[in-house]
Chain A
Amino acid sequence: MNTLVVYCHPDATSFTAAVRDAVVDSRRRAGHEVRVRDLYADGFEARLSAEERRNHRMPGPRPAVAGYADELRWCQHLVLVYPTWWSGQPAMLKGWIDRVWVQGVAWDLPEGASRVRARLRNIRRITAVTTHGSSKWINSLEGEGGKRTLTRSLRAMGHPLARSGWVAMYGLDTSTAAQRAAFLTAVRRKFGTRR
């Protein structure tokens, strides 16, 4: 499967970077073609501009994000690797969604239709690998907004039978080295499959 890994963390030495390496390595070992996108290394502009907003009904990505749109169209498995902050995707990753998943790339709204039509039918799997500072219980109370953005909003733009996956470590702030190592092992097992 063509696998696109979109990675988002400001610190290159973070635990999330180790998680990314585990995903990429296990995916490649299982024989998949993998492309990695590092939004911080790119210095991606997260803020949707006034010009983009005014033309948001004009199909197609703006030239500045065309490369990002191309790789979205290329992949069959999309993997987002990021830390959960304020119960959702970091602003950097939210900006990637705001600016790249636009009309003509992720969806269409044909003349007279009342609902958007999904365009990323190439995406058969969409998985988040994320860390939460606080416990699972606290995150349930907060409503798991980031999980729902992925499993409901984003998945709906993929293939009708696209599956979503949620690989999450909770309680990172109070975790031990052994727990973090166990999570990396679980990540390798999950992504090291032929499918």
Chain B
Amino acid sequence: MKALLVSAHPCADSYSAALAEAARRGLVTSGHEVTTLDLYAADFTAVMSPADLDAYRDQADPVDPVVRQHGELVRHAEVLVFVYPTWWSGPPAMLKGWLERVLVPGVAFTFDRQGKVQPALGHVRRIVGISTYGSPWTYIKLVNDNGRRLLTRALRLTCGWRTATTWLGLYSIDTTGEPERRAFLDRVEHSMAKIR
């Protein structure tokens, strides 16, 4: 299947970058055709500009050629993989901005005659989220897990009824040691290698 892997961490030598690489290896092992988008490396523009918003309102093609190209990748993706560090219970502004600018009408959804959103990502068979958290799992579950909600609920709603989701989180990252981190890298690679 065609997999699109989107990652967002400012440091190329970060653990998050290693997770993205492990995910990519796993997907390649199981024979998927993987395209990676490292948003920081690509110096992606994170915020919706007035011109972006005008195009959104007119349901016209995005004005930024980079955004059009990323939209084309999303249109053909069967697996969407997101790798990011959780900050303030959600994705970094960089990834949030990518969702806002790329997943526009004509890519992720369409508006029907009444102006209601109709899903357009029926071709996506699975959404995968891979994230690191500073807080422990219990705290995340009690308080909030908004990045997970965003990807497995809000984004999931613009996909088909049969779209599956996978969530892989490493919690309490500030106090985890090298063995746990390595084990999580393996877990990420193995679960990606099992995706059919």
Interface residues of A (CB under 8 A from B): 10-11, 40, 46-50, 52-54, 85-92, 94-95, 97-98, 101, 114, 133-134, 138, 141-146, 148-149, 152-154, 173-174
Contact = CB atoms under 8 A, between A and B. Distances in A.
Contacts of B48: 10, 85, 90-92
Given A86-B99, A149-B89, A92 B154 contact: no
A106 B149 CA distance: 24
10 contacts: A10-B52, A40-B47, A46-B97, A50-B40, A53-B11, A86-B150, A97-B88, A143-B149, A145-B144, A153-B143
B92 A149 contact: no
Nearest to B85: A53
B46 A148 contact: no
B146 A49 contact: no
Given A86-B103, A142-B154, A11 B10 contact: no
B154 A90 contact: no
Contacts of B62: none
Given A143-B153, A145-B150, A91 B11 contact: no
A134 B53 contact: no
A47 B157 contact: no
A48 B144 contact: no
Given A50-B40, A95-B46, 4 more contacts: A47-B94, A89-B96, A91-B46, A152-B89
A61 to B, nearest CB: 15
A94 B14 CA distance: 21
B36 interface: no
Contacts of A174: 114-116
A98 B154 contact: no
Interface in B87-134: 87-94, 96-97, 99-100, 103, 111, 114-117
Nearest to B172: A114
Size bracket of the B interface = 35 or more
Contact of A47 (B46, B111, B144): B46
Interface string B147-160: 10110011101000
A88 B10 contact: no
A49 B14 CA distance: 13
A177 B90 CA distance: 33
Contacts of A85: 48, 100
Interface of B: 9-12, 14, 40, 46-50, 52-53, 87-94, 96-97, 99-100, 103, 111, 114-117, 143-144, 146-147, 149-150, 153-155, 157, 175
Query: Among A40, A88, A146, which residue has the most Cβ atoms of chain B within 10 A?
Result: A88
B157 A142 contact: yes
Nearest to B139: A115
B96 A94 contact: yes
Contacts of B153: 87, 141-143
Contacts of B40: 47, 50
B149 A87 contact: yes
B10 A98 contact: no
Contacts of B92: 47-48, 94, 98
